[in-house]
Chain A
């Protein structure tokens, strides 16, 4: 059933979104609840308004906590556009290992 597939996909996405939100909250020292970080919130410019140092932190945290290493500069630019873009990128890497 389509609905079951969608539900399964959404569940996987939710889990990754949760981990990405947590990672962002810690890396950026955000004074926000996790669910106050909307999935399509942009990272640079508006949204969370991160800077280049934050970007480095996020990439390192992605590597260490979600085992996703993004090396290509274009890949980095596009993956860091929004929270959902990060989630997409993590999902594209395959299910993350670890807790």
Chain B
């Protein structure tokens, strides 16, 4: 952990225009980007304002018609290019496969093609390293920056572009409107009247080792000192009113940074302006920072940019850094009447205030309860990283068209053929001790069952304070289809103002994870990661990274999840979920399987990932989801089990790689091998994990 990981450049496209210069100028002038909406029809709504990208102001989109140039990819690429140029990464000499992209988004490109956004950004700047999409609703880009920091710090990448992008569509607007979250006026975070304003945009920061940036003459904007995650496990859309979830994420970030509350000078709040959010956040800040929360300026930049969804965290952070460069903090506009209970100093002013910022806290909260916090600053503290902890696969759970058992899947190894189709009816009570009295959407059912089975298999019952240290990571590539279909149908049947809010809350990638976390009261880190094929294995590896290198969680359930589309599924396609209860810090588990090594690499780099994960050790075989025609020459040793293309057994984009992992662990438990390699990858990345039987003591 030399000189730390730096933010060496930034790019922004937002309601305030193209580029960081436009953003900085607007901030300095106290000019917000919230205007009357003309781009799409809003006559039916009580709210008529939003913070939209001005470049599309002349468009007049027909309801239900084509989106035209409105594209998250377009914004993402523009912002990413600016960050790349700003950091002069073109002259950095990094090999392309050592440059990663971590992108946060709520809605992808019109609810589809989630992992393609990151791929488009990578192609635009010539990056060939891993492309990871984070989709935890409003905290996506904040988490993306934290993940990028980890990738660079641990040497998986030399540099990364991290940020987020989202565009505002009429359907999304209608959903928030139906939820009653929108203010009729421009939002007034921490002030009156309550309510939020939606926005859109894209932002990226270039992340690399500070020493490397300085070596080519680029002065870092700031250092990424710490990152923390937590889950409210409370409600689909409302935050835990006590603010405990937000507080946990902040504490985790501070601990990661090795800093205390007194070393934070400024907070860039999530600050949406809704009653529930502002209240929970104010409480959470006080719980985590004590008296400091009311002694430092807390800015809500959504008063300028609206709620830019997947780009919110990164754009707000960039805004804070642009102001910090001028020795100021951004104001919170329209906060003349501070709401009772809000933080004491929301920087209620028309212009930025002079205030030296050595270190700031970026806080984001999200639908589904995924909280994320970053500590960013000019200088850090020396951090003792502590020994890397051993990570164990303690329990397995699987839900597939073949049922809730793992054995039929394991037996399928010797019989060619596919397991395809839908998951049949099953009694959720078999997997969760007390199931809720309401129907769950299919994705949440699969994930809950798989997670419940994994926890039961591990013999783990998460109680009390352990819940704060238990998390859930899902690898998922598509928006849950049943929720999407219901939402669309509700609009068809009842008009745009009749959009069904329950299903609307289900059309974020993080919805099943958020709902499951609530079912199991898992209040530790929560992530939904997307990388196309291999997403499941990616979530397993990221969970292992978190457990091995951090001390804020002891258990993370990592899973892959797929739901078949309501219509138009290919005959060979399958749905389901596979979950692994991963543990660290508690010593060897009764299941007897340890994660020895793992690697994440760029697309087409399966052999390199395999080699890195094995680190010279011999493997007895490989279970893979690497796509058709994958051949592996690089397995060291005789590999008596050969390779098993689990993706050929189960055509489920995110889940197959998690199933491969489950089967490999099962095989080792049954004594069929002592060490196996699990590999997966597609167009976004390649990843590998080496697992081994625990040594008998």
Note whether A and B contact each other (Cβ less than 8 A). Answer: yes
Q: Is B93 an interface residue (CB 8 A)?
A: no
Question: How many inter-chain contacts with C-beta < 8 Å in the A-B complex?
Answer: 41
Please determine whether A53 and B505 come into contact, CB atoms closer than 8 angstroms. Answer: yes
Chain B, interface residues (CB within 8 Å), range: 10 to 19
Q: Which of A53, A57, A60, A63 has the most CB of B within 10 A?
A: A53
B682 to chain A, nearest CB (A): 35
Please determine whether A53 and B494 come into contact, CB atoms closer than 8 angstroms. Answer: no
Please determine whether A31 and B439 come into contact, CB atoms closer than 8 angstroms. Answer: yes
Please determine whether A57 and B500 come into contact, CB atoms closer than 8 angstroms. Answer: yes
- Closest partner residue, chain B, to A25 (CB atom): B439
Q: Is A64 an interface residue (CB 8 A)?
A: yes
A43-B179 Cα distance, complex, nearest whole Å: 18
Given contacts A60-B178, A60-B500, A63-B498, contact A53 B237 (CB under 8 A): yes
A53-B440 Cα distance, complex, nearest whole Å: 15
- Interface positions, chain A 29-46, Cβ under 8 Å from B, are 29-32
Residues of A within 8 A of B639 (CB): none
Please determine whether B180 and A56 come into contact, CB atoms closer than 8 angstroms. Answer: yes
Q: Is B502 an interface residue (CB 8 A)?
A: yes
A51-B238 Cα distance, complex, nearest whole Å: 10
**A interface footprint on B175-189 (CB within 8 Å = 1, 0 otherwise):** 000111000000000
Residues of B within 8 A of A51 (CB): 235, 238
Residues of A within 8 A of B237 (CB): 53
**B interface footprint on A48-91 (CB within 8 Å = 1, 0 otherwise):** 00011110110010011000000000000000000000000000
Q: Is A23 an interface residue (CB 8 A)?
A: no
Q: Is B437 an interface residue (CB 8 A)?
A: yes
Please determine whether A54 and B502 come into contact, CB atoms closer than 8 angstroms. Answer: yes
Residues of B within 8 A of A53 (CB): 179, 236-237, 501-502, 505
A57-B500 Cα distance, complex, nearest whole Å: 6
Please determine whether B493 and A64 come into contact, CB atoms closer than 8 angstroms. Answer: yes
Please determine whether A56 and B501 come into contact, CB atoms closer than 8 angstroms. Answer: yes
Please determine whether B494 and A64 come into contact, CB atoms closer than 8 angstroms. Answer: yes
Residues of B within 8 A of A27 (CB): 502
Given contacts A53-B501, A57-B502, A64-B494, contact A28 B438 (CB under 8 A): yes
Q: Which of B493, B500, B505 has the most CB of A within 10 A?
A: B500
- Closest partner residue, chain B, to A52 (CB atom): B238
Residues of B within 8 A of A31 (CB): 437-439
A51-B235 Cα distance, complex, nearest whole Å: 9
Please determine whether A56 and B438 come into contact, CB atoms closer than 8 angstroms. Answer: no
B369 to chain A, nearest CB (A): 14
Please determine whether B179 and A60 come into contact, CB atoms closer than 8 angstroms. Answer: no
**A interface footprint on B412-440 (CB within 8 Å = 1, 0 otherwise):** 00000000000000000000000001111
Task: Say which residue of A30, A57, A60, A64 sits within 8 Å of B437 (CB atoms).
Answer: A30
Residues of A within 8 A of B236 (CB): 53
- Closest partner residue, chain A, to B237 (CB atom): A53
- Interface positions, chain B 141-182, Cβ under 8 Å from A, are 178-180
A56-B237 Cα distance, complex, nearest whole Å: 13
A51-B501 Cα distance, complex, nearest whole Å: 12
Q: Which of B179, B237, B437 has the most CB of A within 10 A?
A: B437
Q: Other CB < 8 Å A-B pairs besides A27-B502, A52-B238, 5 of them?
A: A29-B439, A51-B238, A60-B178, A60-B498, A64-B494
A to B CB contacts below 8 Å, 26 in the list: A27-B502, A28-B438, A29-B439, A29-B440, A29-B502, A30-B438, A31-B437, A31-B439, A51-B235, A52-B238, A53-B179, A53-B236, A53-B237, A53-B501, A53-B505, A54-B502, A56-B501, A57-B501, A57-B502, A60-B498, A60-B500, A60-B501, A63-B494, A63-B498, A64-B494, A64-B498
Ordered nearest first, which 4 A-B pairs have the shortest CB separation?
A29-B439, A64-B494, A29-B438, A56-B501
